């Protein structure tokens, strides 16, 4: 359950806490610029993945590119959820008001939280996520706001993957916004700007 992390107290008690989840090879500070753009007044909890792949931190193992170790994914998702329970008690923020901001591998574990735990997140900003696992009955996500940023030419996360994730979350009741960029898997300033506008609409 232990995770290397950073916590920064925000200036607003009204804003949700942002859970920052990096991509493969990143760390707990990678997405701090996104937090500044999306909700500068929020508490920020940046978490580093516990799995190493060729020395690069990740949130769960994979068997090959695009092929997840599902057993490990499920276990790591449970561990992260328990860590969020601990962090809320440790730092005194509202456990029911956490919005994940994830990129790539971090977006995948955030999506997995939604797939497994209906009340783990108040909402999520998912940059270039994949469907974490198929053939799973999702919890009731009625009204949970989710922003998905996808690239039309993303070689790692195909447009179909993004469409499938959108459909699965929507069928579970989530309030999903799917935003398309013309580029690949890279994180663009434009998509973060769109995520920030969406966040203000949903949470402020």
Decide if 116 is catalytic.
no
Q: Does residue 164 have an active-site annotation?
A: no
Instruction: Using a pLDDT cut of 90, give the percent of the chain over it.
Output: 95
HEC per residue, 134-175:
CCCCCCCCCCCEEEEEEECCCCCCCHHHHHHHHHHHHHCCCE
Mean pLDDT of 51-69: 93
Burial class (CB in 10 A: 0-12, 13-18, 19+), 36: middle
Marked catalytic residue, from 39, 104, 112, 162 = 104
- Whole-number Cα distances in Å, 19 to 45, 70, 150, 155, 159: 5, 22, 20, 26, 25
pLDDT digits (tens, 9 = 90+) for 103-135: 999 999 999 999 999 999 999 999 999 999 998
Q: How far apart are CA 84 and CA 81, in angstroms?
A: 5
According to CATH, what is the number of the domain 5-203? 3.40.50.1820
DSSP state of 2: -
Report how far residue 131's alpha carbon sits from residue 169's, in angstroms, rounded to the nearest whole number: 10
Say which residues have a Cβ less than 8 Å from residue 137's Cβ, sequence separation at least 6: none
Choice among 39, 112, 154, 162 that is catalytic: 154
Of 1, 9, 10, 5, give the one whose Cα is nearest residue 20: 5
Instruction: Decide if 78 contacts 84 (C-beta within 8 A).
Output: no
Digit-coded pLDDT (tens) for 159-203: 999 999 999 999 999 999 999 999 999 999 999 999 999 999 999
Of 79, 179, 185, 188, which one is the catalytic site residue?
185
Output the six-digit token pair for 138.
Answer: 């999702």
- The question of whether 127 is a catalytic residue gets the answer no
pTM for this prediction: 0.97
């Amino acid at each position: 359950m232990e995770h290397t992390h950073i916590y920064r107290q925000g200036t607003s008690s009204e804003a949700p806490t942002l859970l920052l989840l990096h991509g493969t090879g990143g760390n707990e500070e990678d997405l701090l610029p996104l937090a500044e753009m999306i909700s500068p007044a929020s508490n920020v909890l940046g978490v580093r993945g516990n799995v190493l792949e060729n020395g690069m931190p990740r949130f769960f193992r994979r068997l090959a590119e695009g092929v997840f170790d599902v057993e490990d994914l499920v276990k790591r998702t449970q561990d992260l959820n328990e860590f969020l329970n601990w962090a809320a008690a440790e730092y005194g923020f509202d456990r029911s008001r956490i919005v994940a901001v994830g990129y790539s591998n971090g977006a995948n574990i955030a999506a997995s939280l939604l797939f497994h735990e209906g009340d783990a997140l108040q909402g999520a900003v998912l940059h270039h996520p994949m469907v974490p696992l198929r053939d799973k009955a999702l919890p009731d996500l009625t009204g949970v706001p989710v922003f998905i940023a996808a690239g039309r030419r993303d070689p790692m996360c195909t447009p179909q993957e993004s469409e499938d994730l959108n459909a699965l979350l929507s069928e579970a009741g989530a309030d999903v916004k799917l935003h398309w960029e013309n580029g690949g898997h890279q994180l663009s300033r434009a998509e973060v700007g769109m995520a920030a506008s969406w966040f203000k609409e949903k949470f402020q």
